[in-house]
Structure 1
Amino acid sequence: MSTSVKRIQAILIKDYKETSRNMAVSSMLFLPLILAAFYSRAGFDSIQGHFMGINFTFTMVCTYIQCCLIAEEKEKNTLRSLMLSPASTPEILIGKSSLTFLSTMIVIVGCMILTEYMPGNVAVMAIALILSAVFYLAVGTFLGLYAKSVMESSVIVLPVLGIFSLGPMAMAFVDSYPILKIVEWLPSTQIILLAEILEESFTLGDLVQPFAAIIGWIVVATIATIIAFNKRMVD
């Protein structure tokens, strides 16, 4: 086992112990599952209904918990020590994201089971979900680097929750308000459009737009996060 893997594991175990003791953060794991169960009981058997819980998982679990983990490190003044440790920037970012990523994937699978959603193509959807998780992790890390405390991180993440979780709902009003067409390019909307494509016969060309849009968001969010991280290192 290489030293880098050991460092990533050490950060992962540390985050797990801290998160398990913080009920305010760990309780967020159950909210998307409760929402998915509600939609299942209410009979919302549509792609939008299935992905309501999934998109909430991305924001409420992936982004929020990641933001809280980074903000907590800052609040305890341990983030600076971590940055100055022998661990490299990729090791720190991967280690700080591993717990959130695993939790997100588990909750998403739980939401899919509760709503009885089976993608038209499991492999393609799995790739899209993983890529989407990377984007939301980058956003959570970026916000956490600017939040001064865990309490502030709970507030700073609200715009992400509103825009990316509820944004796809605005597609229903595009005909009346053409300006809302911009929400079509949100990663949360693109993954719904991708799911709809997978329900029918499709070609590789049909997958280009959704994946290109999601990867574009990842690139922008990752660059912003790395710049913010390096700025904190020399602060």
Structure 2
Amino acid sequence: MNISMTRIQAILMKDYKEFSRNYAVSVMVLMPLVMAFFINKSGSTTIAAYFITINIAFSMVTAYVQCCLIAEEKEKNTLRSLMLSPASLSDILIGKSLFVLILTMVVVALTIYIVGYSPANLFILAITLILSTVFYIAIGTLCGLFAKTVMEGSLIILPVIFIFPFGPSALAFSSNFPILKIAEWLPSSQLVLLAESLEGTYTTMDVIIPIATIIAWSLVAWIVTGFIYKKRMVD
């Protein structure tokens, strides 16, 4: 695998500058933080309440920002130039993802701090949060590849914003609507199930199943993203 750190760093800095100039995109960073503040003031101390803000951070920051950055590249016709440059597929995908990865980790950490959540096992939870970030970056990249403008990207990403963060909430209605049980296998739901297991006595399978599920989602998402990306190169 041919990876150039110089090219990755250049793409990272380019994304940072575009993000800082686009206030319509950068303001989304504040959404989960504001929600975390209100949840903290409400006095809610349930795992489900904590992870509403965390899952919203993944959709509104990770997926949304990544989608808009890719869409902006397409709108300015700079993504095609990047595809045809000496930068490899790995350079581009890593470079385009690294900024959002760092941004997500900062926002999620601040969200956890604001809501007052103290994980029982920070190490396992941190690994799962990073894996979840990788998945949402893939979804954001995929949506961005289908969008032609930032405005179009903002619309395409809406299903992700509405479906994934509220997967755990849908499970509360699964007894009346059995079809909603499928929401249990969403990455957001698996993240909540893992966090709830860590608060008590948990088994190895309680940890392995959620992590394996999120990894499976990530692999599928990145495989599809890589396929669409290569198709766009010869489009």
TM-score, normalisation: structure 2: 0.97
* DSSP-derived class of the 1:30 partner: helix
Question: 2:19 matched to which residue of 1?
Answer: 19
What is the identity, as a one-letter code, of the residue corresponding to 2:214?
I
What is the identity, as a one-letter code, of the residue corresponding to 2:19?
T
1:208 Cα deviation (Å)? 1.7
1:199-218 CA-to-partner distances (Å, cap 9, x unmatched) read 01223222121011111101
- 2:107 aligned with 1:107, yes or no? yes
> Matches of 2:139 and 2:20 in 1, distance apart?
22
Structure 1 residue ranges, 4+ long, deviating more than 2 angstroms after superposition: none
Q: Within 5 Å, which residues of 2 pair with 1:121-136?
A: 121-136=121-136
Between 194-203 and 137-146, the greater mean CA deviation after superposition: 194-203
Question: 1:54 matched to which residue of 2?
Answer: 54
What is the identity, as a one-letter code, of the residue corresponding to 1:63?
A
Distance change >3 Å, CA 125–CA 75, structure 1 → 2: same
- 2:61 aligned with 1:68, yes or no? no
Distance change >3 Å, CA 3–CA 226, structure 1 → 2: closer
Q: Within 5 Å, which residues of 2 pair with 1:80-229?
A: 80-229=80-229
> Matches of 1:58 and 1:17 in 2, distance apart?
21
> Matches of 1:140 and 1:207 in 2, distance apart?
26
Please say if residues 33 and 111 of structure 2, whose CA atoms lie closer than 8 Å, have aligned partners that are also in contact: yes
> Matches of 2:118 and 2:42 in 1, distance apart?
18
1:3 Cα deviation (Å)? 7.2
Please say if residues 3 and 90 of structure 2, whose CA atoms lie closer than 8 Å, have aligned partners that are also in contact: no
* DSSP-derived class of the 2:164 partner: helix
Instruction: Report the identity percentage.
Output: 56
Please say if residues 73 and 79 of structure 2, whose CA atoms lie closer than 8 Å, have aligned partners that are also in contact: yes
Distance change >3 Å, CA 200–CA 74, structure 1 → 2: same
> Matches of 1:43 and 1:80 in 2, distance apart?
49
Question: 1:4 matched to which residue of 2?
Answer: 4
* DSSP-derived class of the 2:67 partner: helix
> Matches of 1:84 and 1:161 in 2, distance apart?
32
Please say if residues 8 and 92 of structure 2, whose CA atoms lie closer than 8 Å, have aligned partners that are also in contact: yes
What is the identity, as a one-letter code, of the residue corresponding to 1:175?
S
What is the identity, as a one-letter code, of the residue corresponding to 1:191?
L
Please say if residues 3 and 88 of structure 2, whose CA atoms lie closer than 8 Å, have aligned partners that are also in contact: no
> Matches of 1:199 and 1:173 in 2, distance apart?
24
> Matches of 1:104 and 1:224 in 2, distance apart?
22
What is the identity, as a one-letter code, of the residue corresponding to 2:95?
G
Paired positions, count: 234
1:86-140 CA-to-partner distances (Å, cap 9, x unmatched) read 1100110010011111111100000100011111111100000000000000000
* DSSP-derived class of the 1:226 partner: helix
